Amino acid sequence: MIFPCIDLLDGKVVQLVQGRDKALEGEPPLEMLRRFAAFPEIQVIDLNAAMGTGSNSDLVRLAAEHARVRVGGGVRTVERARELVAQGAHKIIVGTAAFAADGINAAFLSDLAAAIGRDRVIIALDSKHGRIVVKGWRETTPFTAEEVLAALAPYCAGFLCTYVDKEGMLAGTDLDWFRRLRAATPLEITAAGGITTLDDVRALLAMHVHAALGMAVYTGRLSLADLAQLLDSK
């Protein structure tokens, strides 16, 4: 699968570099949804909710009304996850709340899976310099993605694994890391961060890893027509 990304910040569609600096603004959400109509599912991240600086709930609801969406950003309570499901989200992406100081937050994840269904839960393993980062990529944990995959598996349908080191930089991604992750779990893996070329996307799909695409699409480095054709050929 290929998931075009819609990242929301202060009511606008944006792309950030490594989760910090705004590099560009996209078209309004409805126009982006129209452009992404050939793809079966869209990834929507509420950056304000992730950073604790508000939310874009109306735009998340709008996206869910017009497309099948997986939604993340600020999912730190079961109530927040339920709200997103009620707004129409097909799957929920949880990152920060999946972890505690000493490991995974099993109590929260168990409650979350019970509340909305394990099949709706995607756990984000955003990694920088080899370690998982949380709270809008502003805090580093002691854990690596490889270390926690098995322990997290009972609570989710799959993982969103972002190579933060190259996020938004159009400098390629770490295919070897994704190969190691793919070998470590039978669950769905979606790759993000630095995916720049059709060869990157082909390599990921060949290893049965989904691709979530942002900056390369918004800057035109990757053609939506070429991506749709690649998806149709699978």
Q: Give the pLDDT confidence score for residue 231 in this predicted structure.
A: 87
Which distant-in-sequence residues (6+ apart) come within 8 Å of 216 by Cβ? 170, 195, 196, 197, 222
Q: What is the mean pLDDT of residues 20-29?
A: 86
Q: Give the pLDDT confidence score for residue 168 in this predicted structure.
A: 66
Q: Is the pLDDT of residue 37 over 90?
A: yes
**Beta 12-17 vs 21-25: how paired, if at all?**
antiparallel
Q: Give the pLDDT confidence score for residue 199 in this predicted structure.
A: 96
Give 21's pLDDT tier (boundaries 50, 70, 90): confident
- Helices 145-152 and 175-184, packing angle to 10 deg: 30
For residues 64 and 70, is the Cβ–Cβ distance under 8 A? no
Kindly name the residue from 10, 21, 102, 126 that is annotated as catalytic: 126
126 is catalytic: yes
Q: Is the pLDDT of residue 142 over 80?
A: yes
What is the value of pTM for the model shown? 0.94
Helix (H, G, I), strand (E, B) or coil at 214: coil
Q: Give the pLDDT confidence score for residue 50 in this predicted structure.
A: 87
Please check whether the domain covering 2-232 is classified as CATH 3.20.20.70: yes
Tell which residue, 22, 24, 44, has the closest CA to residue 33.
44
The domain limits of the chain are 2-232
Q: Give the pLDDT confidence score for residue 90 in this predicted structure.
A: 96
Kindly name the residue from 7, 10, 102, 176 that is annotated as catalytic: 7
Q: Give the pLDDT confidence score for residue 133 in this predicted structure.
A: 92
pLDDT by residue (tens digit) across 52-78? 899 999 999 999 999 999 999 999 999
Give 166's pLDDT tier (boundaries 50, 70, 90): confident
Distance, CA of 79 to CA of 123 (rounded, Å): 17
7 is catalytic: yes
Q: Is the pLDDT of residue 227 over 70?
A: yes
